[in-house]
Structure 1
Amino acid sequence: MARLEGSAADEWRRGWSLPIVAALGYGLGNVFGHSFGVFVQPIEREFGWTRGEISSAFTVISLVLALFLPLVGRLIDRLGPRRIAIPGAIAYCCAIAALGLTGPSLLSWWGLWALVGIAAVTVQAPVWTSAVSSRFNRSRGTALAITFCGGAITTTFLPILGMYLIAELGWRGAYAAMAAICAVVVIPLVALAFYDARDVGESTGRSRAAPVRQITGEEIRTALRSRRFVRLAVASFCLMIGITALLIHFVPILSSVGLTTAQAAGAASLIGIGSLLGRLLCGYLLDRISGSLVGAVAFGLPAAVAGALMLFDGGLGGAMAIAFLFGMCVGGEVDVLAYLTGRHFGLTSYGTLFGILVAIQNLAYAIGPPLAGILYDRTGGYDLFLAVAIPLFLTAALLVALLGPYPEAEEHQAEAA
């Protein structure tokens, strides 16, 4: 019976709705970024700001997220993700709506984005993956992959929704309407179905006839001092410098070697499809083979993308193939990081540890895109940046490959539950 209760089928029977709701929550946390592009031109026309000034919102929010994510991770470990997610989602939707109140001063723009960042920190990946990891063991990779598919959904639909709302309501009304739609769709489902292992049978009021896996793992100080965590942190930082820069500059890179902007944007749309498939494939593999091996491939594969871009001859077919491959890379990296954090350090301090890693990713986000832009300005092309990105990706892959096997305590938690 213990073996049956720890099986993948039993995990999905008891908790099938959790990854779906977590996917919606993760998608909600990405609303500010995935809808940003369609608001740039209307705001530019109204205030006369440069696009660099408008885009400085990302610097503000990246720094806020990097500063507060470890703190929220600690709260997740102490209070549970549900108690963070529900009030956080409400506050976040209100903060998104408040962007429509922006005044003519850049200070108001930065201040409102700082507010969005403070609220957004409560609906980022550590909140959703903490609950999913606590309820899924045998099929954790697949469950996390479904969770992260929420980002692909928002990438696909939010720009379309944003353009429609701007056309109907103006950009100020569009922010309010988008926030309201997200609140109506996501918050009730989170309230109804978002429970981690500690909540099951208590907050739900349901019988605990089926045992819930005990939350165990390393303490924060022990984990932070370990070589494994340092390797994960450095690998994440190196990887995300290159990944975020490629994401932001992908269309300009293609345009710089002969494609029209429309052709480059069309090719780049395949990144979303590749991302969705990459996440699902990565989750499937994580449940079946070594996470270090999967991670090494996922972290190293972007080096092939950078190399292909350096050799790119301007053909549309080649651009589409590179975009799809890059999407596969983007689809796997965060899934691997979330999975390996739980496997190597357990779940006792998962929120804090993964929060620190995501904070490091946000610091990389603040460095990567500007670095690519600076190197382009100085050399007139992207080859130097791509040449820098390749060793960063390979270093990340090597560090993940050196993590070694999972601790036995985490491998056998299902039987001990």
Structure 2
Amino acid sequence: MSQTERTALQEWKAHWPLVIAGMIGFSFYSMVTYSLGTFMEPLEQAFGWTRAQISLGLTIFGLSATFAGPVMGAVIDRFGSRRMALFGLILSGATFACLSLATGSITQWVVLWIVFSLCSVMIKSTVWSAGTSSVFTASRGLALAAVLTGSALGQAFAPLVANALIQTQGWRAAYVWIGFGWAGLGAVLVALMFYDAHALGQRRTNAAGEVTRLPGLTIGEACRNSRVIRIAVANLLMSFVGAGITVHLVPLIAQTGVGKTEAAEIAAFAGFGGIAGKFLSGWLLDRVQGSVVPFSSFAVGAIGYFLLIDLFHTPIALLAGTLCLGYSAGAGLQVSTYLISRYAGLRNFGVIFGVIASSMMLGSSFGPLIAGAIHDATGSYAALLWTAMPVMLLCSLMFVGLGPYPTFARPDEAIAGSQLAPAE
């Protein structure tokens, strides 16, 4: 067994509880998006709202994450992920439960979602990624993959849990049970098991008067670093085309001539592809340094878009295209999180990745609108797919030639005379 493998095993032995807590905590954040559809019909019946009015909540949810992400990132860098995650789960769970208090007023509905969305920013992916990256080094890629799989848990179980509760308890009780139950479980696990480098450093401060200071780029250096900029631009472009096609995936597949039920079944395989993308890319990143893993992770998406054009007129090609799409989406976030932790370091990871994540949310907010506009103008999704292919290939090329990971001195060492790795 190599030294790297022994170190990886030691990391998992010491910090596996953090991974479990992070996975469950992050699943609540993802649950919000995938449960709303289940609540639409009972809300329509209760208040006579349109689905567009009901969906205002997700728009607020996305825009809040876009604008508040960098601020929350700065708080993470200052106080650590543990405090943020714990308070975030408690507050977001309580405010999600408050959606049960809806009276039929759209103004009240918007206010409830604004309050919930501002609290939920405290449990977005940046929180869990920063905490995981701070304690995993040799096995960081696989650990991040496991934690970020929480989004797949939310995607898989949110509709099932919400539907079961609505059928047996009613939609108001469903909001309460999910808010206090799901988020409550996450909060308990975080309180017991989620200790990042900041929290562990505080423990050592109490015992030996030492404080953990994480190495990495300053915010100014990151803004000038060509590697960070390339990763950020690639993710912004990917989010525009990826979100647009993902939201429209079922009607896109159905437009090829397959039935709506079969289209939904084919689209569901994107989730399986996403899980595979996270774990395979995470495992490879811990073993292979260079452009191969990030390039291929994004290029697979271009292959998926090509297959979804349906030039082969077979459901097998559509299924393969959907799997490629899911794989690229799952691997893309995983790869980008990992690369930022390596090329920018952990000193200001929260702010740096928070800005990137916010730009991705911006793309996710407008991508579906652009996709719908293209369909309305042309009568099909073909133009969208033909455009998405070269965009994804461009994204994959941005990862070529990033070079070896830099070695950063700790801030206290830099003060003593060592210099941080220069900006590219």
- Residue aligned with 1:408, SS: coil
Distance 2:5 2:259 in 1: 56
Residue 321 of structure 2 aligns with which residue? 322
1:188 aligns with 2:188: yes
Structure 2 partner of 1:230: 229
Shift of 1:255: 0.9
Paired position in structure 2 for 1:362: 361
Corresponding residue for 2:337? 338
CA offsets per residue over residues 148-189 of structure 1, 9 Å max, x none?
Answer: 111111111111111101111222221111112213321111
User: In the alignment, what sits opposite 1:130?
Assistant: 130
Q: Kindly provide the amino acid, as one letter, of the partner of residue 218 in structure 2.
A: E
What residue in structure 1 maps to residue 47 of structure 2? 47
* Cα shift at 1:248: 0.7
Q: Could you tell me whether the CA contact under 8 Å between 2:4 and 2:138 is conserved in 1?
A: no
List aligned pairs for 1:139-288, cutoff 5 A. 139-200=139-200, 202-203=202-203, 215-288=214-287
Structure 2 Cα separation of the partners of residues 300 and 4 of structure 1: 29
Alignment of 1:57-136 (within 5 A): 57-136=57-136
Using the alignment, how far apart are the partners of 2:257 and 2:310 within structure 1? 13
SS in 2 for 1:403: coil
Q: Verify the 8 A CA contact 1:63 1:363 in the aligned structure 2.
A: yes
Aligned to 1:382: 381
Give the Cα–Cα distance (whole angstroms) in 1 for the partners of residues 204 and 274 of structure 2.
34
Asked if the contact 1:27/1:151 (under 8 Å) is kept, the reply is yes
Q: 2-side partners of 1:386 and 1:368: how far apart? A: 13
Distance 1:74 1:306, change over 3 A: same
Alignment of 1:36 with 2:36, yes or no, is yes
Following the alignment from structure 1 to structure 2, what is the Cα–Cα distance between the partners of residues 325 and 231? Answer: 23
Shift of 1:206: 10
Q: Distance in 2 between matches of 1:374 and 1:203?
A: 54
Q: Could you tell me whether the CA contact under 8 Å between 1:257 and 1:313 is conserved in 2?
A: no
What SS does structure 2 have at the residue aligned with 1:178? Answer: helix
Q: Which is worse superposed, 176-185 or 338-347?
A: 176-185
The 8 Å contact of residues 4 and 10 in structure 1, kept in 2 or not, is answered as no
**After the TM superposition, which residues 389-400 of structure 1 pair with which residues of structure 2 at under 5 Å, given as runs?**
389-400=388-399
> Aligned pair 1:10/2:4, yes or no?
no
Q: How many angstroms apart in 1 are the aligned matches of 2:54 and 2:387?
A: 28
In structure 2, how many angstroms separate the alpha carbons of the residues matched to 1:221 and 1:25? 31
SS of the equivalent of 1:269 reads helix
Q: CA deviation at 1:212?
A: 10
Distance 1:213 1:402 in 2: 32
Task: Identify which range, 367-376 or 54-63, moves more after superposition.
Answer: 54-63
- What letter is aligned with 2:407? E
CA contact (8 A) 2:205 2:211 kept: no
Deviations 1:242-267 (A, max 9, x none): 11112111101011111111111111
Percent identity, please. 33
3-state SS of 1:35 partner? helix
Cα RMSD after superposing both structures: 2.4
Distance 2:203 2:179 in 1: 27
> 2:310·2:318 contact (CA, 8 Å) conserved in 1?
no
Q: After superposition, what is the alpha-carbon deviation per residue over 1:240-295, rounded to whole angstroms, capped at 9, x for unaligned?
A: 11111121111010111111111111112211122112111010011011253211
Q: Which moved more, 1:275-284 or 1:194-203?
A: 194-203
- Give the conservation status (yes or no) of the 8 Å contact 1:258–1:314: no
CA contact (8 A) 1:90 1:187 kept: yes
What is the total number of aligned residue pairs between the two structures?
408
Q: Which amino acid aligns with 1:99?
A: L
**Post-superposition offset of 1:68:** 0.4
The answer as to 2:297 corresponding to 1:298 is yes
Distance 1:155 1:171 in 2: 19
Counterpart-to-counterpart distance in 1, 2:31 and 2:4: 39
Q: Deviations over 1:32-61 (max 9, x none)?
A: 112122112222232333323322322222
| Structure 1 residue 316: Cα displacement | 3.3
Mapped partners of 2:219, 2:66: distance in 1: 18
Displacement of 1:389 = 1.4
Inter-CA distance 120–292: structure 2 relative to 1 (3 Å threshold): farther
Q: Unaligned 5+ residue runs, structure 1?
A: none
Contact 2:35 2:159 (C-alpha < 8 Å) held by counterparts: yes
DSSP 3-state at the match of 2:346: coil
Say if 1:107 and 1:395 are closer, same or farther in 2 by CA, change over 3 A. farther
Shift of 1:29: 1.4
Higher mean displacement: 387-396 or 335-344: 387-396
- Mapped to 2, the partners of 1:94 and 1:213 lie a distance apart of 33
Q: Does 1:406 align with 2:385?
A: no
Residues 401, 97 of structure 1: CA spacing in aligned structure 2 closer, same or farther, 3 A cutoff?
A: same
Residue by residue over 1:295-344, the C-alpha shift from the partner in whole angstroms, topping out at 9 and shown as x without a partner, is: 12112211111111113555433333222222212221111111011000
Counterparts in 2 of 1:10 and 1:368: CA distance versus 1, 3 Å: same
- 1:295–1:400 Cα contact (<8 Å) kept: yes
> Is the 1:291–1:336 Cα contact (8 Å) retained in structure 2?
no
Q: From the superposition, tell whether residues 231 and 153 of structure 1 become closer, same or farther in structure 2 (CA, over 3 Å).
A: same
TM value normalised by structure 1: 0.92
Q: Could you tell me how far apart the structure 2 residues matched to 1:234 and 1:202 are?
A: 36
Taking the aligned partners of 1:194 and 1:401, their CA distance within structure 2 comes to 35
Q: Distance in 2 between matches of 1:353 and 1:373?
A: 31
Provide the rounded CA distance (Å) in 2 between the counterparts of 1:262 and 1:274.
Answer: 19
Counterparts of 1:73 and 1:201, CA distance in 2: 19
